[in-house]
Structure 1
Amino acid sequence: METTGARWSLAGLLGIWSATRIVLLLLVFKVWVFPGPDVTSDVAVIYQGWSEVLGTGSFPQSDVTWQYPPAAALAILSPKLLFHLDYASAFFVLAFTADLAVLALLLYTGPRPGRSMRGAWVWAVGVPLLGPTVYARYDVMVTAVAVASLLAGARHPRALGALAAFGALLKVWPVLLLVAVRDRTAWASAAVTGAVLAALFAAGMPGAFAFLTFQRDRGTEVESLGALVFHVARHHGWDGEVLLNYGSVEFLGPYVDVVSTAALVLSALAFGWLLLWRLRARRFRSHTVADAAFVAVLLFTTTSRVISPQYLVWLVGLAAVCLCFRGSRMGPPVLALLAACLVTMLEFPLWFAHVVASDGLGITLLSVRNGLLVLATVLAARVLWRSTVSGAAATPLPAQATRTRETSLPS
């Protein structure tokens, strides 16, 4: 009976994943048109334009919208491998392939001792809640690298470090995967991989690190936590404006620099909390690395000056890895995150015009979405602290002993 139930559960999971991904593909290929702004224009116009510049052997260093680390060039150029398709179509196919790769990794690890199929369910359900934006940005590819890194970490620390470093050179945030890693070989692997790749890009392509300046000069994006101040202020005489700036829709005007600075301060405080947690943590279990990475990315996403919809793809991937482990207690914050994903699709692209207009619906959607992200962050940080710091401290198990203990757990 248990085997039959498991088969039905797997069939249901695969059915939901297949049905929702078919819908996503129909939307990005415009067989069906999703209401709101065309989310595929970034691929067909911006990404394709970058690919033409990158194809000449140089980064688009004169374009302030290029705000990505050097390895992002690989993601932008990758559609050219499918030469029989036009650029946008090839990109959507590769995004779908990355989505499939994540599912395959989660399905592979789910039945193992000490693991769970909950993670595969989170990925299957969470991704479509964000709508067609998922396949129209390269973030799903970065997330696939991050998921592979965390799932490889328990048995292959060198692979964890190398993949985390590669991910960081794709889009910076995967460096946070290492926040709870204690294995020196993982750190050494990350350092060597990062240094070698960075040197190769710097030597081979001009403008590899121009993105650092462009990121520094960004303002407060209209979907961020701090942006709520200006959404409300517009109804009380604030005379700023909303414009496309540095590749995103941002507030420009009086006091924007103050709110942007406050966001940076909040991020610094988040880093301080992570440092304090790392110094105080005493119990490291098989799921701690994934839990800590989830908390770290939540902290820096929620406090960021920019919260683009595709950022939540990262969080869904990390949440899925957390719940792959039976011992993880990240269920409540993951539920809050999934609710935030649904509201995110409502605010972008469905009713983004209301967000830009700062009307009642737009402010409500942002308040709910950002409130859910704050809730998920607080809950996740509390779970991490209680599971590793609070209570009687236990002596950490050596890595080999931990792996032996994991393999002895009942499936």
Structure 2
Amino acid sequence: MSNPPERRQQHPPAPPERSSGSGAGQRRAAGARVDQDTLTPSTRVVPSWTEPLARRAAAPFGGPLGRHAVIGRHWFWSPLRVGLLLAIVILCLGWGTKAACIQQFVQDGEAFLDWRGNRQYVAMCYSDIVPLYTAEHLDQGAFPYRDSWTENAGTPDEQVRYMEYPVLTGMFQWVNAKLTDAWLSVAESGLLPAALPVAVFFNLSVLWLAVGWLVTVWALFLLSGRRPWDAAIAALSPLVIVHAFTNFDTLATAFATAGLLAWARRRPVLAGVLIGLGGAAKLYPLFLLGPLLVLCLRAGRVGDGLRATLAAGAAWLAINAPIWLLYPEGWREFFRLNTERPADPDSLYNVVSYFTGWAGFDGPLSPGEAPLVLNLVSLLLFLACCAGVAWVALSASRRPRLAQLAFLAVAAFLLTNKVWSPQYSLWLVPLAVLALPRWRVLLAWMTVDALVWVPRMFFYLGVDDKGLPPDWFLGMVVLRDLAVVGLCVLVLWEIYRPTRDRVRSAGDDDPTGGVLADAPDVVVLGRRRRGGGADRPDTMRSVGGDGKSDVAVMPPRPE
């Protein structure tokens, strides 16, 4: 039996010699063009040759990989394991940034959560997980969607409330609340350390959310094809430090990314099931089905796309149907709140309203009144963007990669939606890594997006408590949105100029494509049909130290 790819000996070619000639001349001098069939799954892109950021990072450790280096032979460390270790380190930092919000103080012999002096904002440690433990009445044993409570009783704003999250996320919170009760029961006997119930609930939730992000990173490494180190950008993302434990979104990223992996492994039913489960946790994984179906239409693989879609619907229904049938009022709470809530501070609608004095599409709203016009405009804008993504999928000269269209669809939803909760940015991280593996660009966007958290916390603190006025926060929101729009433009640029696509420069058609990879086109709008694997970018051959030929990726054209 042959060795697995990560342990197979490889002799990478030397980095291309520097030259004062043109980019094309450098590529011709580096080596001859080779047939696509000579590329093997074990061929890896060497980041220190192709990524300026990696080249600089390698300088303190001896510089870029050498001509005679042997890779893939270490008995334990592989790109995947290194990536998971990096993710664990970043997740630990993420927990550390939130830990200040579960500290306690003792008064009159009783312990309380220490949020004195608006600590949750001043220390920038706020997490929804902490207040939700009591706000959703989990500390009182409430069962989600069945048990209700009344907010603002005796006032005009009185409202009967239920669990406000999708079913899988709501049940996730309930399970952790029950685990908290079990932990505290054992702690009374001295076998486990005791703490405030909310602190135990937070830490148990964090444990599973961390597992969710590790699953995301694991799937990303397996999806990255010949560029496994790109997934390390997700593992090291500043957004993970800030938002992995702000809410429960790593559950959805785990299901969505694992669903893409199942699709890449040509298992459409399993892919649909995982995407459907992700949709039962948060809405966004279901947006992956649209790009998938359009690409299947172009490649004449509609049956595979329909199987995935039906499996996703069945999985979503299997999770939701019991709650829907048993507790219909509680089940509808998530949809009711999303219909009635106005534009959030993070939305472009609120930004325009604040800086221009515009009263909004619906004007002033009464308590409980839904912004119907805003809801309609937001929906129509998103549908228009989806139609644009579909046109791109069916009209580009070469079929776009699934991750490219998925990123565009999810980014369109966030930009046009009336709500962009801060942790939603995590949805884009895995898709951006797969769609646009340009390290400096991605890290710049992630850093800007993560830094929005600082003025957000001091905006919530309020000017009267030495916080910041809205201008600072909303200004950073605009910068973040512009950064995401810039990413979308770059993705579109690479779709229409596939020779600039770094994934395809590595010799892969579409690592996430599954049955779509290298498939011929059947339906193309506005152009004659072309084969799915046409217009391959250049590769080069070199000879390793043992005289055997290996293939490595040409460095990108200078830009």
Larger radius of gyration: 2
Give the CA deviation at 1:8. Answer: 8.9
- The answer to whether 1:368 aligns with 2:482 is no
Give the residue type in structure 2 aligned to 1:226.
Answer: Y
Aligned partners of 1:43 and 1:136 also within 8 Å: yes
Residue of structure 1 in register with 2:319 after alignment? 197
Q: 1:58 aligns with which of 146, 149, 155?
A: 146
Structure 1 length as normaliser, TM-score?
A: 0.76
In structure 2, C-alpha distance between the alignment counterparts of 1:210 and 1:178, rounded to whole Å: 25
The gaps in structure 2 that reach 5 residues or longer are 1-68, 104-118, 150-158, 185-199, 297-303, 499-520, 534-550, 554-559
Residue of structure 2 in register with 1:231 after alignment? 354
Give the CA deviation at 1:316. Answer: 0.8
In structure 1, C-alpha distance between the alignment counterparts of 2:428 and 2:280, rounded to whole Å: 18
In structure 1, C-alpha distance between the alignment counterparts of 2:147 and 2:354, rounded to whole Å: 35
Worse overlay, 356-365 or 67-76: 356-365
Paired residues, what number? Answer: 380
Give the CA deviation at 1:393. Answer: 4.0
Residue of structure 1 in register with 2:340 after alignment? 217
In structure 2, C-alpha distance between the alignment counterparts of 1:310 and 1:296, rounded to whole Å: 17
Worse overlay, 379-388 or 178-187: 379-388
Residue of structure 1 in register with 2:129 after alignment? 43
Give the CA deviation at 1:130. Answer: 5.2
Q: 2:308 aligns with which of 186, 207, 214?
A: 186
Give the residue type in structure 1 aligned to 2:146.
Answer: S
Q: 2:387 aligns with which of 267, 272, 282?
A: 272
Give the residue type in structure 2 aligned to 1:153.
Answer: W
Residue of structure 2 in register with 1:106 after alignment? 220
Change (3 A) 1:349 1:63: farther
Give the residue type in structure 2 aligned to 1:309.
Answer: P
In structure 2, C-alpha distance between the alignment counterparts of 1:196 and 1:131, rounded to whole Å: 33
In structure 2, C-alpha distance between the alignment counterparts of 1:276 and 1:216, rounded to whole Å: 29
Residue of structure 2 in register with 1:73 after alignment? 170
In structure 1, C-alpha distance between the alignment counterparts of 2:316 and 2:470, rounded to whole Å: 45
Trace 1:285-300 onto structure 2 (pairs within 5 A). 288-300=401-413
Residue of structure 1 in register with 2:279 after alignment? 168
Q: 2:454 aligns with which of 346, 353, 358?
A: 346
- 1:316-375 deviation line (CA, Å, top 9, x unaligned): 12223x15xxxx667687456424423333333366547996454334322212221222
In structure 1, C-alpha distance between the alignment counterparts of 2:374 and 2:477, rounded to whole Å: 17
Residue of structure 2 in register with 1:401 after alignment? none
RMSD: 4.2
Residue of structure 2 in register with 1:120 after alignment? 231
Aligned partners of 1:201 and 1:208 also within 8 Å: yes
In structure 1, C-alpha distance between the alignment counterparts of 2:126 and 2:331, rounded to whole Å: 26
In structure 2, C-alpha distance between the alignment counterparts of 1:122 and 1:63, rounded to whole Å: 44
Residue of structure 2 in register with 1:405 after alignment? none
In structure 2, C-alpha distance between the alignment counterparts of 1:116 and 1:242, rounded to whole Å: 51
Worse overlay, 299-308 or 340-349: 340-349
Give the CA deviation at 1:124. Answer: 1.3
Q: Secondary structure at the match of 1:179?
A: helix
In structure 1, C-alpha distance between the alignment counterparts of 2:451 and 2:276, rounded to whole Å: 32
Q: Secondary structure at the match of 1:136?
A: coil
In structure 2, C-alpha distance between the alignment counterparts of 1:167 and 1:63, rounded to whole Å: 28
In structure 1, C-alpha distance between the alignment counterparts of 2:230 and 2:70, rounded to whole Å: 19
Residue of structure 2 in register with 1:249 after alignment? none
Residue of structure 1 in register with 2:98 after alignment? 28
In structure 1, C-alpha distance between the alignment counterparts of 2:495 and 2:162, rounded to whole Å: 36
Residue of structure 2 in register with 1:307 after alignment? 420
- 1:376-405 deviation line (CA, Å, top 9, x unaligned): 2333344446559797642348xxxxxxxx
Aligned partners of 2:220 and 2:430 also within 8 Å: no
Worse overlay, 93-102 or 346-355: 346-355
Give the CA deviation at 1:300. Answer: 0.4
In structure 2, C-alpha distance between the alignment counterparts of 1:237 and 1:154, rounded to whole Å: 47
Q: 1:394 aligns with which of 511, 526, 530?
A: 530
Between Structure 1 and Structure 2, the one with more helix by share is 1
Aligned partners of 2:124 and 2:454 also within 8 Å: no
- The answer to whether 1:3 aligns with 2:71 is yes
Give the CA deviation at 1:66. Answer: 4.8
Q: Secondary structure at the match of 2:457?
A: helix
Give the CA deviation at 1:282. Answer: 7.2
In structure 2, C-alpha distance between the alignment counterparts of 1:48 and 1:100, rounded to whole Å: 28
In structure 2, C-alpha distance between the alignment counterparts of 1:9 and 1:134, rounded to whole Å: 22
Q: Secondary structure at the match of 2:244?
A: helix
In structure 2, C-alpha distance between the alignment counterparts of 1:92 and 1:301, rounded to whole Å: 25
Change (3 A) 1:210 1:131: same
Structure 2 length as normaliser, TM-score?
A: 0.57
Aligned partners of 2:145 and 2:331 also within 8 Å: no
The gaps in structure 1 that reach 5 residues or longer are 247-251, 398-408
Aligned partners of 1:267 and 1:299 also within 8 Å: yes
Give the residue type in structure 1 aligned to 2:214.
Answer: L
Give the CA deviation at 1:226. Answer: 1.8
Give the CA deviation at 1:313. Answer: 0.8
In structure 2, C-alpha distance between the alignment counterparts of 1:53 and 1:311, rounded to whole Å: 29
Give the CA deviation at 1:301. Answer: 0.6
